Amino acid sequence: MNKWLVFSVFITVMNPVWAMDIKITDTRENNFYMDALVWVLDKSGESYHLIQTKHDVTSQGRKVLLVQSGKIDILYAGTSIELEKELRPIRFPIMRGLIGSRLFIIHKDYQAKYHAVKSINDLKKFVGVQGIGWGDKQVLESSGLQQEERLYDDIFGNINSGSRYYFPRGMTEIFSELKSKQATLPNLAVEQNILLVYKTAVFFFINPSNTALEKALNQGFKNAYADGSYEQFFYNHALIKSAFEEAKLDSRIKLEIPNPFLSPETVAVPKQYWHQD
């Protein structure tokens, strides 16, 4: 065989031309979203390489700019009409909408006051707190729930020091978040009575020009739902299983509010892709 042909075959085997290089900033360490990304890409039938970048990411806005400039290829984020205009959403709720099932971080001494809450009108007597610029603030305020803004890192210390705020967090994130704080902030607790629910989703977002990645992600989700494997992966993932065990949803008062800030396209996502009680 011609030596140049041999060399060409060797290069093709070592670096398959059909494999997508996908630049990311996040790792899989205790990260459900990255586990889901790998699962979906594996189900797509496409070959791919994840490339870990070292960009300094201090905010979601920074990540959006990195995707727009092509320095990274994908991010995951709570959806909004504005974000869906800036980037291309892959309209499969990664958390099956459970990010909209909210429990509260409170000061442990105020639990008795929250046991008296039986309705949204009762909850209106309390004040919630959100990170600066978070879209959830406008969702809760649209139902008459008072919300204030604080720097995310300051919220925990503020509550620990005696603030009467409640801090709504997704049921799949609140317990690990609290455990990481309790050694230094021992007065924090997960409120035991209330489950606040509104429709929202975390999507993967990509650059609209990245049609190959868009195709792979959509196909991966479709394949994983067609054979039932995404639900199996989801409900058996350690983070999701522990969240259901610790949340004790059956013992909570469920308070539902609308979310008027979803795009029509997100509202129209089929029921099969959302968690059902």
Is there a contact between 168 and 103 (Cβ–Cβ < 8 Å)?
yes
State residue 222's pLDDT score: 98
Residue-range domains of the chain with CATH: 3-97+200-247+261-273 (3.40.190.10), 98-197 (3.40.190.10)
**CA 220 – CA 224 distance, rounded (Å):** 6
State residue 60's pLDDT score: 80
State residue 56's pLDDT score: 78
State residue 163's pLDDT score: 94
Phi, psi for residue 99 in degrees, rounded to 5: -65, -20
State residue 248's pLDDT score: 95
**Mean pLDDT, contiguous 10-residue spans, the chain (277 residues):** 40 56 90 96 96 83 93 94 96 97 98 97 97 88 96 94 96 92 95 97 97 98 97 96 95 97 96 94
State residue 129's pLDDT score: 97
State residue 214's pLDDT score: 98
State residue 156's pLDDT score: 96
Torsional sign, CA 40, 246, 251, 143: negative
State residue 4's pLDDT score: 39
Is there a contact between 147 and 126 (Cβ–Cβ < 8 Å)?
no
User: Who's near 71: CB < 8 A, 6+ residues apart?
Assistant: 23, 53, 55
State residue 14's pLDDT score: 47
Global confidence as pTM:
0.86
State residue 10's pLDDT score: 39
State residue 17's pLDDT score: 53
Side chain identity, residue 125: K
**CA 277 – CA 274 distance, rounded (Å):** 10
State residue 108's pLDDT score: 97
Is there a contact between 201 and 99 (Cβ–Cβ < 8 Å)?
yes
**Residue bearing tokens 């309705």:** 119
Per DSSP, the residues of 256-277 read E---TTS-HHHHTS-GGGS---
**Residue bearing tokens 């039986």:** 118
Q: What angle do CA 94, 96, 102 make, to 5 degrees?
A: 105
**CA 261 – CA 250 distance, rounded (Å):** 28
